[in-house]
Every structure is written in structure tokens, then in C-alpha cells.
């Protein structure tokens, strides 16, 4: 039996778990592990900030479907990962974070770069470990990967003291599958629950499926489409669920919620059955829960029992894997015809096409919606798009039509500005043959723009579209609608982004008119390395529709009709 140090055991475990890439930043408390790294066939991506490491691991996990791994040292290295860990937790991303810790005998004595990172991350991890003995490294690592990817995925942190990394023992890999007492990640649905669900489905005349990210994570895309087609039920999508059902499918209504399509929100409010599959009834989806879908029974299928009845009470709840549950339901599901209901929803679209900014006459302004819709058209809808958070995020959801799963990667639950660029790098590493676009705002981009050099150093090809409106756009929109246009701390000065790209050794372009968009987008696609495009768009455009905070889901602020704009002389924004 060979002798291995704790540092070597860490890499041995990573190799046995199939890890090919680690995103990280070295430092004193993790240095023994970095020293051992050179002897193992794992690619290390050197980030410029530890937050970038966690976002890259997150993007890697979401794009590729496997566990993402991030590594950092103790103290500030570990605390810099916190925002990325919380992002992964809110969006159920399987990430394992490995941090170094001061020697075990110094813990609790405020040693140099000591921080209780396990205490800090208890609320934002699925589980975490403090490992102080070399013999505990392998069990902790095996459990970390098992927890991260099983059941409802999520981040797990393993904090390993420096002396545990430096210690040694006679060691070999234990291939025994992990079993954790009391942990049942995928309980099967009971026959009684399935029967109750079927009764709801049979009794419905106005059903709607609410499809969330759980559809993608469980691999239930085909089963969901088969289920919807069997009972002729429309499907509304959450933000993170986009791509789980092809946007072009006749039953796909589009996105629901605060910035969802108006007819989708109206349909939900008039439905008599909501079938929530792999979604958690987030407040941005429901609006005011007291007035949410008042006529509808609720069938909720989710792998996490803590989500059942948390936000919206269910009439029937099934805790279990969505794909397996849908397969069970399909075994006995009888065909149904809801053509009148589907036609009625279609009629509710009304003047939406007229109000759509894509239909407004060209006034010489460049709108973000035009940019994103052109990128969708030019890429054939086949790119992996990673967005930051804000107006551009919602416009992407509205105007880039996703046909395949894992083609939209965004920070949904936490709403983390600065997410897109590092997550896009991680996505490209996971899927090197995919075309990857990072669509970002001028505010969020500046938070993690240092990762441009990571892309340059690693030879990673990402196309970056900065939707530059000179504001913190979504906050400005709220100030316009609800604070009498008192723009406090939202006007934003930015550096010359083209020169920033050039300073990192990358190519940059600036676009100010729509006639330039297609040519520059094509040049970016054809270039070998990462390309940045600074799109100077209309400054005071707003995302429509919008459900105000605390309002009913169908109480939306709509974009004014062109005739109203013409009468008032207002600019069509």
C-alpha cells in the first residue's frame, strides 16, 4: 500500500471522481496541495479573484452537467468565495469548494489568515466539512461529491487544515459507494400520490405546466414534452427552466413571472390546475401569493421536501425525482384535448406583437432587445448564453429563444452581478466545442472584468456583449417607475471597454447603431480568442411587462402602444 500525503490524497480523490479541471488561486494554507498538483492530470485554471473561481466552477457545472470544483486558501481566499457559493446554493448548482485552513493547533487563536469558513458558509452550502486529520480527507471528499450531485444539487465546502495536507499515511482508494445515514436524495413517488395527481389531471379543463430548472437537472426534457403533449397542456417556463422545453414547441408559452409574457401570467391566473415541475414558486414567479392563481388546484413535484408548501400550498405534492415521476405518470396517463384552452391563451396575446419593441419603427436608436435578438438570429439560437443580472438578463430571456437545455446560464435566485464573465469561462471549459456568449451589463461586468486575463491566459474563446446604457439599468428602472425618476447612485461612468479589452491582450469593438450589429457579431464569432463588444444602447429603456413588487401576477406594467407614444410625443422606449 503506497504512502500518500494529505495533499496527494486530495488530488487522488479528484481524479477518481472524474475531475478534469479545477478553478482556483493559491495561498499559504493550501500550498501543500498546489505543490502536489503538478503530479496529477488535472487542468488548473488560475483565476484573478476567488469569487471568479466559484462562478467558473458554477458555469462549468451548469453547462456540462458534472460537478464543478473551486480551490482557494484560508482567510480572505475562502471568504472571497462566499458570494459564488451562495449563488450556487440558490440555483442548485453542484459545486465542491476546497479551501486550505491554518494548522489545527492554531484554530481558534486568530492565526494569520484564519477564518471560520465552515461557520460562515453553513447557511449557503448543502453541507460542509472541517478536516483536521489526514485519514479523514478521503471520506470527506467522497461525501462532498456525493452530496453535491445527488438529490437537489448544491455546493459543498471541504476545509482542510495545513497539517492534514502535510501529514501522510499508507493509503489506497476505497471504491465503496457512499452511504450516509438519514440521507435519502431521491425517494420514489408512492402509488397513492401518483393516483391523487392523476385525479387532478383528469379533472382539469384549464391546465398549465410550470417548468423549472429541475426539468433540466433531472434530465426530464423528453418526458415533460411527452406528458404535455399527451394531455395537451400549455407549458410556462421559469427563468432557469428556459431551454428545458424547445422555445419553438407549440405548447411552450414562454417565460412567466415578474418580466414574463403578459399572456402567460394571465393564463396562470385563469388556470384551474397548475402542475409545478421542478420549480419552487419563487416570489419573482408568483407575485402576491394571496392573489396567485386563485382558481387553480396545485400539483407540485420536487425532489426537495423543504420546498413543498413553503411558498404556495399544494393540493397534491410528490417528493421525488421528476424524470422518474413523469415516467410513472405516463404509464397510466390518458390522452386529453384542451384545444379551446390553448386557443384562448393564444387569443390573449392580443396586441403584444404591436407593443413588442422589435416591431417598433427604427428611430435611429440602438435598443438592447435589438442587439440580443440579432445575436440569437445570427447564432441560429445555438449558442450557450451566460448572462449577468439586470435588464439585459430579462431581455435575453425574452429575445434569445432557447431550444436546448443548458443553453442559458444565469444567476437566478441570488441575482449576482459579476456572475457572467467567469461563469462563461467555466461554461466554455466544460463545452469547448460550444459557441459561448456572455451578455453583461456595464455595471456587473466591471465587478469581475479582471477575469479577462484569465480568458487570455487560458486561451478560452468567449464572446462578450456589454449592454452599455450608462446606468445600473434595473435599479434605474425601479427609480423611474416607483421613485419619481430620482436617479440616486444609478448613473454609471465606465472605462473605455475597448481599451480594457486591448489592455488584456484581447480584441474589442464598439457598436452604436443597429446597422453595425451583424457585421461586428460575425467578426467576433470568427476571431480566435475572446472578443469584447461594447454596445452603446438607449439609456432609459425599460423591461416590459413588469409586475410591481407585491402586486398580483396579472397586474403588469405594459409597454405603451405606438399610437399612445405618437400622441404624447414620447420616445418609444
* pLDDT at 572 > cutoff 60: no
Mean pLDDT (the chain) is 95
Instruction: Convert the pLDDT of each residue in 420-474 to its tens digit.
Output: 999 999 999 999 999 999 999 999 999 999 999 999 999 999 999 999 999 999 9
Set out the domains of the chain in order of their start, with CATH numbers: 3-170 (3.40.50.970), 191-347 (3.40.50.1220), 358-542 (3.40.50.970)
Three cell numbers, residue 273:
390546475
Which sequence positions are flagged as catalytic? 50, 112-113, 162, 474
- The answer to whether 375 and 521 have CB atoms below 8 angstroms apart is yes
Q: At what angle are helices 368-379 and 514-526 packed, to 10 degrees?
A: 40
- The answer to whether 73 and 25 have CB atoms below 8 angstroms apart is yes
User: What pLDDT score does 361 carry?
Assistant: 60
Cis check for the bond before 8: say yes or no (omega within 30 of 0): no
Instruction: Convert the pLDDT of each residue in 455-466 to its tens digit.
Output: 999 999 999 999
User: What pLDDT score does 220 carry?
Assistant: 98
The residue-averaged pLDDT of 15-34 equals: 98
Three cell numbers, residue 98:
476546497
Burial (CB count <10 Å: 0-12, 13-18, 19+), residue 364: exposed
> What is the separation, in whole angstroms, between the first and last Cα of the chain?
70
The strand pair at 531-536 and 43-46 is best described as: unpaired
CA distance 422 to 450: 9
Question: Which residues lie closer than 8 Å to 181 by C-beta, 6 or more apart?
Answer: none
Instruction: Convert the pLDDT of each residue in 161-210 to its tens digit.
Output: 999 999 999 999 999 999 999 898 988 889 999 999 999 999 999 999 99
Instruction: Convert the pLDDT of each residue in 31-79 to its tens digit.
Output: 999 999 999 999 999 999 999 999 999 999 999 999 999 999 999 999 9
Question: Which residues lie closer than 8 Å to 392 by C-beta, 6 or more apart?
Answer: 368, 372, 439, 440, 441, 467, 473
Handedness of CA 537, 242, 437, 49 (dihedral sign): positive
Burial (CB count <10 Å: 0-12, 13-18, 19+), residue 466: buried
Please state the three-class secondary structure of 334-356 as a single string.
CCCCCHHHHHHHHHCCCCHHHHC
To the nearest 10°, the Cα dihedral for 239, 242, 245, 247?
A: 110
User: What pLDDT score does 571 carry?
Assistant: 43
CA distance 173 to 13: 8
Question: 468 pairs with which residues across the strands?
Answer: 536
Can you tell me whether residue 225 is helix, strand or coil? helix
What are the two backbone dihedrals, phi and then psi, of residue 6, each rounded to the nearest 5 degrees? -60, -40
Q: Which of 59-63, 357-361, 415-419, 540-544 has the lowest mean pLDDT?
A: 357-361
| Closest residue by Cα to residue 53 from 10, 1, 99 | 99
Q: Which of 336-350, 485-499, 557-571 has the lowest mean pLDDT?
A: 557-571
To the nearest 10°, the Cα dihedral for 465, 470, 471, 473?
A: -40
* pLDDT at 563 > cutoff 60: no
DSSP element (H, E) containing 198: helix 191-202
Task: State the maximum Cα–Cα separation within the chain, in Å, rounded to a whole number.
Answer: 84
Can you tell me whether residue 422 is helix, strand or coil? helix
User: pTM score, two decimals?
Assistant: 0.96
Amino acid at each position: 500500500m503506497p504512502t500518500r500525503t494529505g495533499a496527494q490524497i486530495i488530488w487522488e480523490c479528484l481524479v477518481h471522481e472524474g475531475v478534469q479541471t479545477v478553478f482556483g488561486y493559491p495561498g499559504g494554507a493550501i500550498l501543500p496541495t498546489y505543490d502536489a498538483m503538478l503530479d496529477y492530470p488535472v487542468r488548473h485554471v488560475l483565476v484573478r479573484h476567488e469569487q471568479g473561481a466559484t462562478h467558473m466552477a458554477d458555469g462549468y457545472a451548469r453547462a456540462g452537467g458534472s460537478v464543478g470544483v473551486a480551490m482557494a486558501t484560508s482567510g480572505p481566499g475562502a471568504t472571497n468565495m462566499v458570494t459564488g457559493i451562495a449563488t450556487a446554493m440558490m440555483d442548485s448548482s453542484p459545486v465542491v469548494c476546497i479551501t486550505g485552513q491554518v494548522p489545527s493547533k492554531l484554530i481558534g487563536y486568530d492565526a494569520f489568515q484564519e477564518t471560520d469558513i465552515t461557520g460562515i458558509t453553513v447557511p449557503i452550502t448543502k453541507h460542509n466539512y472541517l478536516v483536521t486529520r489526514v485519514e479523514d480527507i478521503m471520506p470527506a471528499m467522497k461525501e462532498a461529491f456525493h452530496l453535491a450531485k445527488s438529490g437537489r444539487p448544491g455546493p459543498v465546502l471541504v476545509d482542510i487544515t495545513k497539517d492534514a495536507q502535510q501529514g501522510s499515511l499508507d493509503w489506497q482508494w476505497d471504491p465503496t459507494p457512499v452511504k450516509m445515514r438519514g440521507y435519502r436524495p431521491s425517494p420514489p413517488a408512492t402509488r397513492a400520490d401518483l393516483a391523487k395527481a392523476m385525479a387532478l389531471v383528469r379533472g382539469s379543463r384549464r391546465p398549465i405546466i410550470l417548468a423549472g430548472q429541475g426539468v433540466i437537472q433531472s434530465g426530464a426534457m423528453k418526458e415533460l414534452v411527452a406528458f404535455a403533449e399527451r394531455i395537451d397542456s400549455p407549458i410556462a417556463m421559469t427563468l432557469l427552466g428556459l431551454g428545458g422545453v424547445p422555445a419553438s414547441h407549440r405548447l411552450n408559452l414562454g417565460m412567466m413571472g415578474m418580466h414574463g409574457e403578459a399572456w402567460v401570467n394571465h393564463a396562470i391566473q385563469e388556470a384551474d390546475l397548475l402542475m409545478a415541475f421542478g420549480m419552487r414558486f419563487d416570489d419573482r414567479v408568483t407575485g402576491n401569493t394571496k392573489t396567485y392563481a386563485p382558481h387553480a388546484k396545485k400539483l407540485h413535484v420536487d425532489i426537495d421536501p423543504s420546498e413543498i408548501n413553503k411558498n404556495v400550498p399544494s393540493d397534491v405534492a410528490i417528493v421525488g425525482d421528476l424524470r422518474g415521476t413523469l415516467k410513472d405518470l405516463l404509464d397510466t396517463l390518458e390522452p386529453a384535448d384542451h384545444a379551446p384552452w390553448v386557443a384562448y391563451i393564444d387569443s390573449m396575446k392580443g396586441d403584444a406583437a404591436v407593443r413588442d419593441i422589435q416591431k417598433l419603427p427604427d428611430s435611429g436608436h440602438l435598443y438592447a432587445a435589438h442587439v440580443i435578438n440579432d445575436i440569437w438570429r445570427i447564432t441560429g439560437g445555438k449558442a450557450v448564453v451566460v448572462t449577468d443580472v439586470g435588464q439585459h438578463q430579462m431581455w435575453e430571456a425574452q429575445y434569445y429563444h432557447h431550444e436546448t437545455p443548458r443553453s442559458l446560464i444565469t444567476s437566478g435566485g441570488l441575482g449576482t452581478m459579476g456572475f457572467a464573465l467567469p461563469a462563461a469561462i467555466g461554461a466554455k471549459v466544460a463545452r469547448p466545442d460550444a459557441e459561448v456568449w456572455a451578455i453583461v451589463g456595464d455595471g456587473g461586468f466591471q465587478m469581475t472584468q479582471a477575469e479577462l486575463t484569465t480568458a487570455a491566459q487560458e486561451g478560452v474563446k468567449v464572446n462578450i456583449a456589454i449592454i452599455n446604457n450608462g446606468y445600473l439599468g434595473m435599479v434605474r428602472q425601479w427609480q423611474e417607475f416607483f421613485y419619481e425618476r430620482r436617479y440616486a447612485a444609478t448613473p454609471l461612468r465606465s472605462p473605455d471597454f475597448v481599451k480594457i479589452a486591448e489592455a488584456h491582450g484581447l480584441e474589442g469593438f464598439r457598436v452604436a447603431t443597429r446597422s453595425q450589429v451583424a457585421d461586428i457579431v460575425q467578426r467576433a464569432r470568427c476571431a480566435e480568442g475572446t472578443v469584447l463588444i461594447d454596445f452603446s444602447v438607449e439609456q432609459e429603456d425599460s423591461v416590459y411587462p413588469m409586475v410591481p413588487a407585491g402586486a398580483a401576477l396579472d397586474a403588469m406594467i405594459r409597454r405603451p402602444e405606438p399610437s399612445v407614444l405618437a400622441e404624447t410625443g414620447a420616445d418609444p422606449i
